[in-house]
A and B are shown apart, each in its own frame.
Chain A
Amino acid sequence: MSFLNVIRRRLMFLILVLFGVTVITFTISNLIPGDPARMIAGDRATPEIVQNIREDLGLDKPLPVQYLRYLEGVVQGDFGNSIRTRRPVLEDLRIFFPATLELALTALFFATALGIPLGVASAVWKDKPVDHFVRVIAVTGISTPAFWLGLLVILLFYGNLGWLPSGGRIDPSLEMPTRVTGFLMIDSLLAGDLQAFGSALKHILLPAFTLGFVHLGVVARQVRAAMLEELQQDYIRTAKANGLSRFKVVFTEALPNAMIPSITVLGLALGDLLYGAVLTETVFAWPGMGAYVVNSIQALDFPAVMGFTVVVSLAYVLINLAVDLIYMAVDPRIREVS
């Protein structure tokens, strides 16, 4: 199967997924009790005012008509206007999504940069103290709620030690770097503003650790299992018989092959991190999509909630596409099978 075929198939799949996601979220949004028009109008508005708002927003039309109108907009890149912020939803997402993505990618980096070596060590020294230690870390990670861990690290690193800030993306006294990518760490480097970069880095450490900790355990366990599997393969024995050192056997023979099944887990982890950020962002006052969507839900701001859902679904499908393509790039067996 060629790369192009996979991309084509996945993109067709994407259309189906987005159709399904919009139908479901649209239906659910309208089943939830609560009238957005009344929310906007306020407590003391007369029925006529509420009715006017309803007509303005097209909420008086039958549901299928409302849905089609929404879909028509989405296809043209118009997610409607947020009821709460009164700005186009797309513009809001453009502001908040990069913040979430920056946090999620940093968390993923943290989880893999620590999780892969821990998993390898755990497999190489199976049943030794290192292995037990890694297993405890993994189980702790998986069973610790992120919001609780977030509060703990704030208490320690901000409250007791005073080393790191408790929330936000950057020191409010600093000037924000010119927006290029929306990733503060990259934008500040592009602007050559090291002070802003340092502040952004300090601000992201605690939330990224909190968010990534769960996945650190998942990654370490996955890599451990895959490494154990590879290390008992016959080709490892051949490599040893060929005189490869233990180090080379582990890192140039077993690890690359063990990473193939682990890529799936990393892809799923990134998807999880994107929506898992909601809680973490709330704890750390991180101005990302999580905080945005929580506020939107409370305000019955359906266009905003739907915009969020569509973007996250889109990200999920694209991440899976990336996983498939990486699979093909690293495993010749998959590449050749047609």
Chain B
Amino acid sequence: MADPVLKIDGLEVLFPGFSGDVHAVNGVDLDVQRGEIVGLVGESGSAKSVTAMTALGLLPPGAFRQSAGTISILGRDVATMSEREMNKLRGGDVAMIFQEPQTALNPTKTIGKQMLRVIELHSDLRGMAARDRAIELLKDMRINDAEEILGRYPFELSGGMRQRILIGMAFACSPKLLVADEPTTALDVTVQRQVLQLLHAKARQTGASVLFISHDLAVISQFCDRIYVMYAGRVVESGPAQKVLGNPQHPYTAALIEALPEDADPGAPLASIPGTVPNLVNPPKGCAFQARCRHAHAACDSRPVLTDVGSKHQAACWLREEISA
């Protein structure tokens, strides 16, 4: 099998703080294979974004420390790559889309200028050829008056339009890996759907792998081949989307699914998970979900590891250990 597009092994990231280091990522293993769309799901603070940003070297230097683990992109260890090589990679073979289309574009430069910058940086296209490429990318994103849009400034466009432009830009140089960090969270529900479909179609069409970060299980379930569920800086369950969502093996995944409003009885209060994410300055020694878990018992005081609970399906919970044992 070819090298995975993205492979993360035993990643640990901490942020130095006044009241002690915040252990944001605590040993994450994750891989994205060629052409695969992988979902990374979890509530706010589960370190989904930090994991992805660390992988692409986008966290502000000095603000964090990677205390353990290796990251390789397209078979190359990023720790051995120079700043220059990383810059060549970012925007070329690896692209990223962010949560806030409102602020993700430079407010004082035209769309055209910002798109051409990426195209000219990573390809041999120049001048009119580069411009034609930009128009083609916009048209692929169902933007009809593409020529006119190139002359516009970001503040003149809607959020959905800007996110489509950003997705177009991300595909500018046929990336092999696209990291999409909550790309539709800031958009209206109707626009969300349209943007997701465009992103999905474009990824399938170009064969790009996608690491799709979201807290929205409904979106993840429609979109992803395989998913990782993260909690408090750890992967608690992973596997094919249908299996994980259809037959969750970790109480946290199960609770997330129960909390979906789609399944709620009309009029009944919505289900929620009691409690909050643990303080990661002093992360719990055992299972991080222990304090909120309705199945918690004595074994949960020590940390469970990811174990096979089915074909390609893994969960980190003592409950499964007992059942399978």
Q: Which residues of A contact B (CB under 8 A)?
A: 232-235, 237-246, 253, 256-257, 260, 330-333, 336
11 additional contacts, CB 8 Å, given A232-B60, A235-B105, A242-B90?
A238-B98, A238-B104, A238-B166, A241-B91, A242-B169, A243-B118, A245-B83, A256-B108, A257-B106, A332-B155, A333-B108
- For A237, the chain B residues whose CB sits under 8 A away are 58, 98, 104
- For A243, the chain B residues whose CB sits under 8 A away are 87-92, 118, 121-122
B95 touches A (CB below 8 Å) = yes
- For A233, the chain B residues whose CB sits under 8 A away are 103
B246 touches A (CB below 8 Å) = no
Q: Are B117 and A234 in contact (CB under 8 A)?
A: no
| Interface residues in B91-138 (C-beta closer than 8 Å to A) | 91-92, 95-96, 98, 100, 103-108, 117-118, 121-122
- Interchain Cβ contacts under 8 Å between A and B, 21 examples: A235-B103, A235-B105, A237-B58, A237-B98, A238-B98, A241-B91, A241-B95, A241-B96, A242-B91, A242-B117, A243-B90, A243-B118, A244-B91, A245-B84, A253-B106, A256-B108, A260-B108, A332-B108, A332-B153, A333-B107, A333-B108
Q: Are B121 and A244 in contact (CB under 8 A)?
A: yes
Q: Are A245 and B108 in contact (CB under 8 A)?
A: no
- For A244, the chain B residues whose CB sits under 8 A away are 87, 91, 117, 121
The distance in angstroms between the C-alpha atoms of A331 and B108, with both chains bound, is 6
The distance in angstroms between the C-alpha atoms of A234 and B83, with both chains bound, is 20
Q: Tell me the minimal C-beta distance from A137 to chain B in angstroms.
A: 23
B13 touches A (CB below 8 Å) = no
The distance in angstroms between the C-alpha atoms of A330 and B108, with both chains bound, is 8
B56 touches A (CB below 8 Å) = yes
B156 touches A (CB below 8 Å) = yes
Q: Are A234 and B56 in contact (CB under 8 A)?
A: no
Q: Are A257 and B92 in contact (CB under 8 A)?
A: no
Q: Tell me the minimal C-beta distance from B87 to chain A in angstroms.
A: 5
Q: Are B107 and A235 in contact (CB under 8 A)?
A: yes
Q: Are B106 and A242 in contact (CB under 8 A)?
A: no
- For B98, the chain A residues whose CB sits under 8 A away are 234, 237-238, 241
Q: Are B155 and A333 in contact (CB under 8 A)?
A: yes
Q: Are B106 and A239 in contact (CB under 8 A)?
A: yes
Q: Tell me the minimal C-beta distance from A326 to chain B in angstroms.
A: 13
- The residue of chain A having its C-beta at the shortest distance from the C-beta of B166 within the complex is A238
Q: Tell me the minimal C-beta distance from A295 to chain B in angstroms.
A: 48
| Interface residues in B48-69 (C-beta closer than 8 Å to A) | 56, 58, 60
- The residue of chain B having its C-beta at the shortest distance from the C-beta of A235 within the complex is B106
Q: Tell me the minimal C-beta distance from A159 to chain B in angstroms.
A: 46
Q: Are A257 and B103 in contact (CB under 8 A)?
A: no
- For B122, the chain A residues whose CB sits under 8 A away are 243
Q: Are A242 and B108 in contact (CB under 8 A)?
A: no
Q: Are A234 and B100 in contact (CB under 8 A)?
A: yes
The distance in angstroms between the C-alpha atoms of A237 and B106, with both chains bound, is 10
Q: Assuming the A-B contacts A242-B121, A244-B121, A336-B156, are A257 and B107 also in contact, with contact meaning beta carbons closer than 8 angstroms in the complex? A: yes
- The residue of chain B having its C-beta at the shortest distance from the C-beta of A254 within the complex is B106
The distance in angstroms between the C-alpha atoms of A237 and B49, with both chains bound, is 13
Q: Tell me the minimal C-beta distance from A207 to chain B in angstroms.
A: 37
- For A333, the chain B residues whose CB sits under 8 A away are 107-108, 153, 155
The distance in angstroms between the C-alpha atoms of A284 and B22, with both chains bound, is 58
The distance in angstroms between the C-alpha atoms of A234 and B88, with both chains bound, is 20
- For B106, the chain A residues whose CB sits under 8 A away are 235, 238-239, 253, 257
Q: Tell me the minimal C-beta distance from A38 to chain B in angstroms.
A: 61
Q: Are B87 and A245 in contact (CB under 8 A)?
A: yes
The distance in angstroms between the C-alpha atoms of A243 and B58, with both chains bound, is 10
- The residue of chain A having its C-beta at the shortest distance from the C-beta of B172 within the complex is A242
Q: Tell me the minimal C-beta distance from A229 to chain B in angstroms.
A: 13
- For A241, the chain B residues whose CB sits under 8 A away are 56, 58, 90-91, 95-96, 98
Q: B23-66 toward A: CB 8 Å interface, digit per residue (1/0)?
A: 00000000000000000000000000000000010101000000
The distance in angstroms between the C-alpha atoms of A235 and B92, with both chains bound, is 18
Cross-chain contact of A235 among B60, B104, B156 (Cβ < 8 A): B104
The distance in angstroms between the C-alpha atoms of A257 and B105, with both chains bound, is 12
The distance in angstroms between the C-alpha atoms of A332 and B103, with both chains bound, is 15
The distance in angstroms between the C-alpha atoms of A240 and B88, with both chains bound, is 11
Q: Tell me the minimal C-beta distance from B254 to chain A in angstroms.
A: 35
